[in-house]
């Protein structure tokens, strides 16, 4: 059992837990994730490690309530326990010899972006960041991103904060101005990573994405999370989650993410019924 030491609501439907997990905290590196299970009978879901503190023995995870498991997770409070918390999983990312990096985070993607930018900042790399959300109140981790960036751009889809529009608006401007980067990291919904990669491609700048397929074990023993990268089948849980965006078959990834759309709906409806009717409009 893994204790939730603290809980913070970062935005409507986006929550953060600090979990007591000393062994994972000691080994975790930017780019890695955990798999958690709330309770007996629960499913295993992957969550990015948004931060970790080896000394305190804690791991920070950020999640958005999108379905049954994440909604149930959202009802947990400080002092509650998670049945299972497994990690650190996946490959750690490395940035040898970079001088200037652009980091882009859309929606919940800001959470996995943060530890990478933090590491780059600590390495003395110049970090430019663009973070965005649908609306101002959905924007997460703004202060932390700013603390590890030399320059930060904020975007909202509705213009309620910062620039009006997607993060790709600022990306395009920077590239058109001729700004140079050793690498661009772009993390968010698959469609954002796909479009972002297409924008960056003509500039011949390396682009790193972090993929979010369906997972079961997270240790390479089932292949549920497979994606096509550079024409080859890769397992995101062991070969990723970070990949060269220009090599990823995003259309396949997006299709595969829909595999259980019907079942996800059934599970959520059953859960909400049991909790006393639909709460989506409350």
Partner 1 sequence: MPSINKSKVKTPMPAQDPKVRSRNFNEVALGYTEEDAVNEAARCLNCKNPTCMQGCPVQVQIPRFIKCIKEKDFESAISIIKETNSLPAICGRVCPQEDQCEQKCILTKKGDPVGIGRLERFAADWEREKGVKIPEKPNPIGKKVAIIGSGPAGLTCAGDLAKLGYDVTVFEAFHEAGGVLIYGIPEFRLPKEIVKQEVNFLKELGVKVETDMVMGKVLTVDDLFEKGYEAVFIGTGAGLPKFMGIPGENYLGVYSANEFLTRINLMKAYKFPETDTPVKVGKKVAVIGGGNVAMDSARSALRMGADEVYIIYRRSEAEMPARKEEFEHAKEEGIIFKFLTNPIRIIGDEKGWVKGVECIQMELGEPDASGRRRPVPIKGSEFMLDMDTVVIAIGTGPNPLLIQATQGLDLNKYGYIATDEDGRTSKEGVWAGGDIVTGSATVILAMGAGKKAAQSIDNYLKNK
Q: Based on CB atoms, which residue is closest to partner 1, 8 or 43?
A: 43
- 3 touches partner 1 by CB under 8 A: no
Query: Could you tell me which residues are beta bridge partners of residue 164?
Result: 156
Q: Which of residues 41-100 bind partner 1 (CB under 8 A)?
A: 41-44, 68-69, 83-89
Has 85 been labeled as part of a binding site? no
CA distance 98 to 43: 39
What would the DSSP string read from start to end of 267-281? HHHHHHHHTTS--TT
Residue 244: cis peptide before it, omega within 30 degrees of 0: no
Provide the CB-side half-sphere exposure for 18 (13 A, CA).
11
Cβ of residue 106: shortest distance to partner 1, in angstroms?
24
176: which 2 tokens? 């058109």
Q: Which of residues 95-154 bind partner 1 (CB under 8 A)?
A: none
Has 17 been labeled as part of a binding site? no
- Kindly give the interhelix angle for 190-200 and 167-176, rounded to the nearest 10 degrees: 10
- 243 touches partner 1 by CB under 8 A: no
Pairing of strands 183-187, 100-106: parallel
Residue 13: closest CA among 79, 76, 66: 66
Contacting residue, 79, 222, 230, 275, with partner 1 by CB under 8 A: 222
Has 237 been labeled as part of a binding site? yes
Has 222 been labeled as part of a binding site? yes
Has 280 been labeled as part of a binding site? no
Contacting residue, 227, 229, 242, 248, with partner 1 by CB under 8 A: 227
- 247 touches partner 1 by CB under 8 A: no
Is 75 exposed, middle or buried, given 0-12, 13-18 or 19+ CB atoms closer than 10 A?
exposed
Q: Based on CB atoms, which residue is closest to partner 1, 143 or 232?
A: 232
Residues of each annotated binding site for [2Fe-2S] cluster: 222, 225, 237
Residues of each annotated binding site: 62-64, 222, 225, 237
Binding footprint of partner 1 on the chain (CB under 8 A): 23-24, 27, 37, 41-44, 68-69, 83-89, 216-224, 226-228, 233, 238, 252, 255-256, 258-260, 263-264, 266-267, 270
């Amino acid at each position: 059992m893994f204790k939730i030491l603290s809980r913070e609501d970062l935005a409507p439907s986006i929550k953060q837990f600090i979990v007591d997990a000393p062994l994972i905290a000691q080994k975790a590196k930017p780019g890695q994730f955990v798999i958690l299970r709330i309770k007996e009978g629960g499913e295993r879901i992957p969550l990015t490690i948004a931060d970790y503190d080896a000394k305190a023995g804690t791991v920070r995870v950020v999640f958005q309530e999108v379905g049954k498991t994440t909604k149930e997770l959202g009802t947990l409070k400080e002092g509650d326990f998670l049945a299972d918390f497994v990690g650190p999983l996946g490959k750690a990312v490395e940035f040898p010899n970079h001088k200037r990096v652009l980091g882009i985070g859309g929606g919940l993607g800001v959470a996995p972006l943060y530890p990478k930018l933090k590491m780059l900042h600590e390495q003395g790399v110049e970090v430019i960041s663009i973070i965005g959300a649908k609306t101002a109140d959905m924007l997460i981790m703004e202060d932390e991103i700013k603390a590890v960036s030399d320059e930060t751009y904020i975007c909202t889809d509705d213009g309620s904060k910062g620039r009006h529009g997607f993060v790709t608006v600022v990306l395009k401007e920077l590239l058109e101005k001729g700004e140079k980067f050793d690498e661009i990291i772009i993390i968010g919904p698959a469609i954002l990573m796909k479009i972002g990669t297409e924008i960056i491609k003509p500039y011949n700048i390396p682009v790193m994405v972090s993929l979010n397929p369906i997972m079961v074990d997270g240790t390479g023993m089932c292949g549920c999370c497979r994606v096509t990268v550079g024409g080859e089948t890769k397992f995101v849980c062991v070969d990723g989650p970070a990949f060269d965006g220009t090599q990823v078959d995003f259309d396949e990834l997006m299709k595969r993410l829909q595999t259980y759309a019907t079942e996800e709906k059934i599970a959520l409806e059953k859960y909400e019924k049991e909790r006393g009717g639909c709460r989506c409009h409350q």
